Amino acid sequence: MNETSPPVFPEPGAPVPDFDMAASRGRRVSLSALRGKPFVLYFYPKANTSGCTKEACGFQEALDALGKEGVTVIGVSRDDMPAIEKFADAQGLSFPLASDATGEVTQAYGVWVEKSMYGRTYMGIERATFLVDAQGRLVQAWRKVKVTGHVAAVMKAVNALHAGG
């Protein structure tokens, strides 16, 4: 592995890294509080950008169906809380959007990566989603997510989790 490779994320079945973050509407989200419930933890680069808005709205639209399966959705970015609150309010997002202001969670999940745009390299969040079971173990990870069709793929995995469980 070379120096620019992100940390190796746990294989399916392995425990996911711990987290505890401030979230929209005065909430907190933590791995310990979610124990006993499956959840989707998705990382997005920046609030109020087109791809992130489309992805967030897709999860919002699927919230009832995911909720019927007992699955909680949490979005994570490194934006500060005012930007996150503005985004949540503007899009009518009822699920928690968490602020990883310190970068500890994005590092732990291996989604803080070197990116490139217009010939310039910089560090940023790789769009990624993690489906975690009720015991806090990784079920499935989606890396370098393309927004179109992504929520449907997550829903399919959630349905498979419950069909097999």
pLDDT, position 116:
85
The set of catalytic residues is 52
Tell me how many domains the chain contains: 1
b/e per residue 139-154 (b: at least 16 CB within 10 A): bbbbeebebeebbeeb
pLDDT, position 111:
94
Task: Give yes or no for a contact between 105 and 28, defined as CB atoms under 8 angstroms apart.
Answer: no
- Is residue 13 in a domain? no
- Is residue 156 in a domain? yes
Parallel, antiparallel, or unpaired for β 72-77 and 39-43? parallel
The percentage of the chain sitting over the pLDDT mark of 90, rounded to a whole number, equals 76
- Is residue 15 in a domain? no
**Mean pLDDT within 73-80:** 97
CATH number of 82's domain: 3.40.30.10
Which residue range is the domain that position 156 belongs to? 20-164
Q: What is the pLDDT of residues 55-76, one digit of tens each?
A: 999 999 999 999 999 999 999 9
Place of tokens 């070379």: 2
Q: What is the pLDDT of residues 40-56, one digit of tens each?
A: 999 999 998 888 999 99
- Is residue 140 in a domain? yes
With a CB cutoff of 8 Å and minimum separation 6, the contacts of 90 are 48
- Is residue 81 in a domain? yes
pLDDT, position 162:
72
- Is residue 5 in a domain? no
With a CB cutoff of 8 Å and minimum separation 6, the contacts of 157 are 131, 139, 140
- Is residue 53 in a domain? yes
- Is residue 115 in a domain? yes
Q: Given CA atoms 98, 100, 105, 110 in this order, what sign does their dihedral have? A: positive
